[in-house]
Chain A
Amino acid sequence: MADSSALVDMQNISKVYQMGETKVHALNGVSLSIEAGEYVAIVGTSGSGKSTLMNIIGLLDSPTEGVFAVRGQRASGLTGRQMADLRNREIGFVFQQFNLLARTPAWRQVELPLFYANVARSASRKRALEALAQVGLDERADHKPDELSGGQQQRVAIARALVNRPSLLLADEPTGALDTRTGEEVMALFEKLHEEGLTLVIITHDQEIAERAHRVITMRDGVIVSDSDAATTTASGFRNGLSGAAPAPLPRPVAIEQDKEEMYEAV
């Protein structure tokens, strides 16, 4: 049964990519739930499935199988438009390469999610400036990316992720393009925001970064091999083995997804 109190609830999620003749199981029956206010790191080597997991949590991708819900709202079966709206409302993204628009002032960058949320222009400017103040960049609202340091650019990106007050901030290797000192500053900012109540999920391959999190989820070959907060995983059903040797569930046809969901309902 889906835990309605959880912010993110994943039940037996699989993601299969068709690469020519062969099927690649990027995720293989992952179950996971994240509560509001958590500070989670997802670690794993490249190819471990952590990026696919992040894309699904970030509503950029749909699972081949399994049930996924954000704040109790089921994401499977949503149209692209509804997914976009949910993403806009619930998820804030921070990327490794900042992904700022060239030659655009900081406050305009931060305003972007509000544009797609149909917030009136006068209100959105005010909120953008508030978000910039949250990351300590209100003085540089009119600066363009090439006038800002790497750390400042990442803080603009964080302000952009925060501006629409998302339930969850999803950061993909947020310090990967920064030197150690600026990386440390950005992490400190994240932790300050977490203390203020933000739910934080950081995807990283950097053990040092991961160890700062309150909960570390380790991925390998499309399954969760360890979760420091085992109680949560167990409570939500599946518990994969401690090693990658755990038997993988058989791939199921997409068509029976509906029945399976009902089955969960019944349990």
Chain B
Amino acid sequence: MKLFRYFPVAVDSIAANKMRASLTMLGIIIGVAAVLTILGVGRGASANILDEVASQGTTRLTISPSTESEGEGAGAPVQTLTMGDVRALSDAAFHPDVVEVVPQYGGSIQLVAGSNNKQTRVTGTTADYVGVHRLEMAEGRFLTEDEIAQMSNVIVIGTAVATDLFERTQVVGESVRIDGEPFTVVGVLKESGNAGFGSNDDSGFIPIGAAHGRIFNVPRYRGEYIVTSVSANAVSEERVEAAERQIEQTLRLRHGLGADDDSDFTISTQASLLDTIGTVTNTLTLLLSSIAAISLVVGGIGIMNIMLVSVTERTKEIGLRKALGAHTSDVLLQFLIESLVLTLLGGLIGIAISYGLALLVQRIPNFPIDLLIGVDALVLAVGVSAGCGLIFGLYPAMRATRLDPIEALRYE
């Protein structure tokens, strides 16, 4: 194939002007490296979050009271999600696809141990919390059914709390004071090792009754304590939607909502959470990539600029080549392939740089995200840089073909 014969010619010409060629490629190098790195960061971050979410189970549903209220007149919104709802939802006869309904009432409060104290989020909950939220214990155990029923003064704490209060994590049997009341530590949660999303390192868990009745001054609605959220598990991943419908039906009925009323609660599933996260990260990645893509276009214009200079500078060479029998197509291909080689080379160096960054990031311990560079991103980078070469090389190449050999040979 004759086409391939132009590549050595292009390489020779680039090698003959190394400095100029590398400066020209810089735009493409930076552009490709930027696009790939940003795509990699976006993908790494979203993979990170998705892993985190998946590790917490894909069957979980979370019911939260709606924060908005309308038509109820002025004043604070009335919180209508209560322990009564939790009991109703626990009835398996009406909710065959719902298991482990777990109420939560949480607030930020000070824990005291000896002379140490720490402001921590303390959640009142039930024994099933550990299963629904897939917590793992480092020391001791989670709250038991008995302790929940008796509203015992027991607490399970995260590792950060343990180390802050006791400077160690083997603290089962120790006592912490909340609002003057002593609570016995029965378990310490395993460190999640991640300061970000879904970490329980900095929290404490006590029986829901103790939280409602003694620690927090919890208001009631229609005679029942309110809760800040309710978690539940669906029997299987396939039944998440059915479970969601069953819960919705019960709560709307209990809250006396008519067919036209909006629900005063929201049910979020892990699937909907994944969707939301996916949308957000995709939007962010797209935004950043388009900014990076601008640098690619700027790089491409740099290529065009240099190729135009190169055509002018090599007017005599073009004249000579034509005198020696070069066709118009020969000249066109020569310059087109030269700019193609230039951009492809720049693209490859850009890819190498972003891969280097990815490897570097992997070696940094505890770096929150990995750079994930997919094959599709590589194909995109190579394609875009080759496209840049062809598009931005076309005009200079056509200028070269239009040169009259007689004039070109006379050009000084």
Contact = CB atoms under 8 A, between A and B. Distances in A.
Interface of A: 55, 58, 60-61, 80-81, 84-85, 87-89, 93, 95, 99, 101-104, 108, 112-113, 115-118, 121, 160, 164
B16 A104 contact: yes
A60 B405 contact: yes
A118 B16 contact: no
Contacts, number: 55
B327 interface: yes
B325 A88 contact: yes
The dominant DSSP class at the B interface is: helix
B321 A112 contact: yes
Of B5, B316, B322, B324, most buried by chain A (CB within 10 Å of CB) is: B324
Given A99-B320, A101-B317, A104-B16, A116 B325 contact: yes
Contact of B409 (A99, A102, A113, A160): A99
B328 interface: yes
B324 A116 contact: yes
Interface in B1-59: 2, 5, 9, 12, 16
A118 B330 CA distance: 11
Nearest to B5: A115
B20 to A, nearest CB: 12
A102 B16 contact: yes
A99 B325 CA distance: 15
14 contacts: A58-B323, A61-B406, A80-B327, A87-B323, A88-B324, A89-B325, A93-B323, A95-B409, A99-B316, A102-B16, A104-B16, A108-B12, A113-B324, A113-B325
A63 B75 CA distance: 97
A102 B405 CA distance: 18
Contacts of B324: 87-88, 93, 112-113, 116, 160
B326 interface: yes
A60 B406 contact: yes
A258 to B, nearest CB: 25
Contacts of A116: 321, 324-327, 330
Nearest to A118: B2
A115 B10 CA distance: 14
A86 to B, nearest CB: 9
Nearest to B405: A60
B256 to A, nearest CB: 88
